[in-house]
Amino acid sequence: MSRRPSHPARLLAAALAAGALLTSAACSDGGGASEAASDTAAARARAAEQDAAKKAPTYSPTGSPSGSATGSPSASPSALTESGAKAALLTEADLEGGWNQVQDADKWRDRLLVGEVDVSDFLTAKTDATDCQELLDGLYRDNLLGEPSGPSALTGFEQGDSRLLEQVAGYDRAGLDARLKWMGTLPDTCDRFTATDSAGGKRTVQVTEASVPETGDARQGLHVTVRGDAADAPATLTLDIAAVRVGTSALTVTGGGLDGGQGSAVEQAVRQGTERLKTVLDGGTPSPQPTTMD
C-alpha cells in the first residue's frame, strides 16, 4: 500500500496542479483575460506554498522539532570559579552538634591510612589490590575523586576527636563520572583487606556502602574502618565519605575519627553543601543561615 503524502505536501501539490491547469488555459486564450488568470494562478500557488511551509515542522540540529511541546532543556550550571568554590564551603552555622571550624584542615593526615595493601589478600584478582591501594591513598591525600581540573577549596571542622572535612572543586565531567562509578565498586572489590605499615604493623580495612541523600546530579557513599595500632595501643579509625556531583563540580565530605563514624553529620553536611554549591553555580550568594531541610 502506498503512503499518502503529508497534509502540507498535499496542499502544495494541489496548488501547483491548479497553477499548471490555469497556465495551460491562459496559453490557449492568448488574450488579456488569459494573462490575468495566469497572474491569479501564480499568486494562489505562492500563497499555498507559504501556507504549507508555515504548517510544516522545522527541525533543530539535534533532530527534534523546534516548535515541539517538550520545550528547551534547562540551563546548565555555570562553571565554578575560585571565589565560588570558597563561597560554597560549609560554615559552622550549617552544622549541628558543636562543630568548630579550623584553619589547618589542608594539613590533616591520618597515619592509620598509610600502608601497603597486602596483594596476597586478592588471590583471584590481583588488580583489585591496586584499587584498594588507591582508596587508602585517596583518603590520606583528600583526592578520592582525583585531582581537580578547575578551582578547588577545602575546609574542616572538629568535634572532640572527630573531624569533618569538605572539599568543593571543579572537574572534568567524564573523569568525575568515572571516579564516582569507581567508588561504587569498592565495597565489592575491596570489602576486607590487610595493609602493612612501614614498621611491619598490620591494619585490617573494611569497606561498605553508605547512604547519601538524594541530592545533586549523581552521588556515592562509603563507610571505611581501619583497625590497627596508634601510639602503641589498639585503635579503630572510622570514616564516612560522601561525594556529590553538580554539573561538572562536586563536593566531597569525609567525617569520623577514633570516636567512631559521623554518618548523620556527613548527611547534613552533604545536604547543606549541595544547596550552597547549587546557589553559587546559579550565580547567587549562599545565605549565612542554613537552608531548612525537611
287 is a domain residue: no
Do 23 and 137 belong together in one domain?
A: no
Nearest to 211 by CA among 203, 202, 220: 220
CA distance 63 to 101: 52
Coil, strand or helix at 150: coil
Confidence (pLDDT) at 231 = 79
Do 99 and 239 belong together in one domain?
A: yes
**What tens-digit pLDDT sequence spans the chain (294 residues)?**
444 444 444 433 444 344 443 344 444 444 444 444 445 555 565 555 555 444 444 433 333 333 333 333 344 567 899 999 999 999 999 998 889 999 888 888 888 898 999 988 886 677 799 999 999 999 999 999 999 999 999 999 999 889 999 999 999 999 999 999 999 999 999 999 999 988 888 999 999 999 999 999 999 999 999 999 887 889 999 999 999 999 999 999 999 999 888 999 999 999 999 999 999 999 999 887 666 554
Do 61 and 169 belong together in one domain?
A: no
**Buried-state track 42-77, b at ≥16 Cβ within 10 A, e below 16:** eeebeebbeebeeeeeeeeeeeeeeeeeeeeeeeeb
Q: Sheet holding 162-170: strands in order across?
A: 100-102, 152-159, 162-170, 249-257, 233-246, 218-230, 202-209, 192-196, 116-117
182 is a domain residue: yes
Do 66 and 108 belong together in one domain?
A: no
CA distance 294 to 240: 22
What residues pair up with 225 in beta bridges, in sequence order? 206, 238
Do 67 and 195 belong together in one domain?
A: no
Do 47 and 149 belong together in one domain?
A: no
**Considering 51, 73, 95, which residue would you say is the last residue of a domain?**
73
Query: How many domains are there within the chain?
Result: 2
Do 158 and 69 belong together in one domain?
A: no
289 is a domain residue: no
List the grid coordinates of 174.
567524564
Confidence (pLDDT) at 268 = 96
**Considering 49, 73, 97, which residue would you say is the last residue of a domain?**
73
CA distance 13 to 21: 12
Do 5 and 99 belong together in one domain?
A: no
What residues pair up with 238 in beta bridges, in sequence order? 225, 257
**Considering 28, 54, 73, which residue would you say is the last residue of a domain?**
73
CA distance 119 to 113: 17
CA distance 175 to 33: 75
- Ordered DSSP codes for 64-75: SBTT-TT-PPPP
Do 99 and 240 belong together in one domain?
A: yes
Rg (CA), the chain: 33
Do 69 and 112 belong together in one domain?
A: no
Do 117 and 224 belong together in one domain?
A: yes
- 118 touches 128 (CB < 8 A): no
CA distance 254 to 163: 8
44 is a domain residue: yes
- Give the pTM: 0.72
List the grid coordinates of 169.
572543586
Q: Which domain holds residue 35?
A: 1-73
Q: What is the CATH number of the domain that holds 255?
A: 3.40.1000
294 is a domain residue: no
5 is a domain residue: yes
Do 220 and 154 belong together in one domain?
A: yes
